[in-house]
């Protein structure tokens, strides 16, 4: 039975990858950072089949311990401060986790079990300002955010550990990929959740940033299979994973709102808070190398993806009564509470 350690198992990709590896018969370990309230929403359904290890990307000793406990054949390093917008107000934290955290992970592998195969979650944000389209493995990087800069650093560290220490280290340059498990602040999920809530009468408007930015959006379930394929090859390498289609945020709005019979123009409000200091205008990936060498192809198309997310958000919003789920306020004016306070 092969053994895999996934960092970022509670995130979107980590949860799909864990399911995929369990399906393949792996023993799956997941690194989880301590939070005041544990967040297992994405992996609740498989918690009895994965083994959780406490650790943090910023704490090398915890990563060494995680490798010792899991004794992995494969490590998938998916953990990061992954939200581009947060990387401007929190550039140091982003560097600490998304850049240095990767060196910590590489060091843990090198020191404890250098035969481990290593996957690094690199990003199309490394391409940043358009140099050429479509973007492929040889396209020069020009990152446009502290997040993109951190990912360029970690990408080159992964390549460097491969070349310096002969680690089987691969870097997957993945373009945007989404799903019903996408974090709520990312643009696709923000839109599909708002569409569901507007349709159900729970929300009146949707405040957005730049509608002209274009992204190459795929389905996360398809993309985690590419990660696994990279680690099954005879030699380690880097691959672009993308759909080869690009759509604007405006098109995303059109597809999502029209699916429930609404016109986005009636609800969307421009809000400066969601415009970025520097934008990545156009992402369009060429994953020809992955197609030829890994035999990888995406299955889910853009419209199908967005409709799947809207359907899921309608179900989620119907299922939970927001009021009932919130913590009830503690009533200090209640006579019983007042009596206990005066004791």
Among ligand NDP, ligand GDR, none, partner that 84 touches (CB below 5 to 8 angstroms by kind) = ligand GDR
| Nearest approach, Cβ of residue 199 and ligand GDR (Å) | 19
CB 231 within 8 A of CB 117: yes
Task: Give me 30's structure tokens.
Answer: 């997941």
CB 105 within 8 A of CB 75: yes
Say whether the peptide bond before residue 98 is cis (omega within 30 degrees of 0).
no
Q: What's the rounded Cα separation, in Å, for the pair 147 and 125?
A: 8
Task: Give me 6's structure tokens.
Answer: 């996934």
Rank residues 70 and 123 by Cβ distance to ligand GDR and give the closer one.
123
| Nearest approach, Cβ of residue 122 and ligand NDP (Å) | 7
Rank residues 7 and 116 by Cβ distance to ligand NDP and give the closer one.
7
Among ligand GDR, ligand NDP, none, partner that 274 touches (CB below 5 to 8 angstroms by kind) = ligand GDR
Task: Give me 270's structure tokens.
Answer: 């421009």
CB 121 within 8 A of CB 77: yes
Rank residues 35 and 328 by Cβ distance to ligand NDP and give the closer one.
35
CB 201 within 8 A of CB 269: no
Among ligand GDR, ligand NDP, none, partner that 78 touches (CB below 5 to 8 angstroms by kind) = ligand NDP
CB 64 within 8 A of CB 72: no
Rank residues 54 and 263 by Cβ distance to ligand NDP and give the closer one.
54
Q: What's the rounded Cα separation, in Å, for the pair 218 and 207?
A: 24
Rank residues 13 and 72 by Cβ distance to ligand GDR and give the closer one.
13
Among ligand GDR, ligand NDP, none, partner that 38 touches (CB below 5 to 8 angstroms by kind) = none
Q: What residues are paired with 75 via a beta bridge?
A: 5, 118
CB 244 within 8 A of CB 285: yes
Out of 15, 123, 145, 179, pick the active-site residue. 123
Q: For this structure, is 125 an active site residue? A: yes
CB 68 within 8 A of CB 96: no
Among ligand NDP, ligand GDR, none, partner that 213 touches (CB below 5 to 8 angstroms by kind) = ligand GDR
Q: Which residues bind ligand NDP (CB under 6 A)?
A: 7-8, 10-14, 31, 33, 35, 39, 56-58, 78-82, 97, 121, 123, 174, 176-177, 183
Rank residues 198 and 238 by Cβ distance to ligand NDP and give the closer one.
238
Out of 119, 147, 153, 223, pick the active-site residue. 147
CB 15 within 8 A of CB 43: yes
Q: What's the rounded Cα separation, in Å, for the pair 73 and 292?
A: 25
Task: Give me 180's structure tokens.
Answer: 């019903």
Task: Considering only CA atoms, give the Rg of the chain.
Answer: 21
| Nearest approach, Cβ of residue 63 and ligand NDP (Å) | 9
Among ligand GDR, ligand NDP, none, partner that 4 touches (CB below 5 to 8 angstroms by kind) = none
Q: What's the rounded Cα separation, in Å, for the pair 317 and 313?
A: 6
Among ligand GDR, ligand NDP, none, partner that 8 touches (CB below 5 to 8 angstroms by kind) = ligand NDP
Rank residues 111 and 278 by Cβ distance to ligand GDR and give the closer one.
278
Q: What's the rounded Cα separation, in Å, for the pair 77 and 100?
A: 13
| Nearest approach, Cβ of residue 230 and ligand GDR (Å) | 17
E strand or H helix that includes residue 174: strand 168-174
Out of 70, 125, 259, 267, pick the active-site residue. 125
Q: For this structure, is 123 an active site residue? A: yes
| Nearest approach, Cβ of residue 69 and ligand GDR (Å) | 28
Q: Which residues bind ligand GDR (CB under 6 A)?
A: 82, 84-85, 123-125, 175-176, 185-187, 190, 208-210, 213, 215, 249, 274, 276, 279-280
Catalytic positions are: 123, 125, 147
């Amino acid at each position: 039975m092969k053994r895999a350690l996934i960092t970022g198992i509670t995130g979107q990709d980590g949860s799909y990858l864990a399911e995929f590896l369990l399906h393949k018969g792996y023993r799956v370990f997941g690194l989880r950072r301590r939070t005041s309230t544990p967040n297992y929403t994405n992996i609740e359904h498989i918690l009895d089949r994965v083994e959780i290890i406490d650790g943090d990307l910023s704490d090398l000793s915890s990563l060494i311990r995680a490798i010792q406990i899991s004794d992995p054949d494969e490590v998938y390093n998916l953990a990061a401060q992954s939200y581009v917008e947060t990387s401007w107000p929190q550039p140091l934290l982003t560097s600490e986790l998304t850049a240095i955290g990767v060196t910590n992970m590489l060091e843990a592998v090198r020191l404890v079990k250098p035969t481990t195969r290593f996957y690094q979650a690199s990003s199309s944000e490394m391409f940043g300002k358009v140099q050429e389209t479509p973007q492929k493995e040889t396209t020069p990087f020009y990152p446009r955010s502290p997040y993109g800069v951190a990912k360029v650093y970690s990408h080159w560290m992964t390549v460097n550990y491969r070349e310096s220490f002969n680690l089987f280290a691969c870097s997957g340059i993945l373009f945007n990929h989404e799903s019903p498990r996408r974090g709520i602040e990312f643009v696709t999920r923000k839109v599909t959740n708002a569409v569901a809530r507007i349709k159900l009468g729970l929300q009146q408007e949707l405040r957005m940033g730049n509608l002209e930015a274009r992204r190459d959006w795929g389905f996360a379930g398809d993309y985690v299979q590419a990660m696994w394929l990279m680690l099954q090859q005879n030699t380690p390498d880097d691959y672009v994973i993308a759909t080869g289609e690009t759509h604007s945020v405006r098109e995303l709005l059109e597809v999502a709102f029209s699916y429930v019979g609404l016109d986005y123009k009636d609800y969307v409000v421009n809000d400066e808070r969601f415009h970025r200091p520097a934008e990545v205008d156009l992402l369009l990936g060429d994953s020809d190398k992955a197609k030829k060498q890994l035999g990888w192809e995406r299955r889910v198309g853009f419209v199908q993806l967005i409709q799947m997310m809207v359907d899921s958000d309608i179900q989620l919003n119907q299922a939970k009564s927001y009021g009932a789920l919130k913590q009830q306020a503690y009533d200090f004016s209640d006579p019983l509470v007042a009596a206990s306070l005066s004791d």
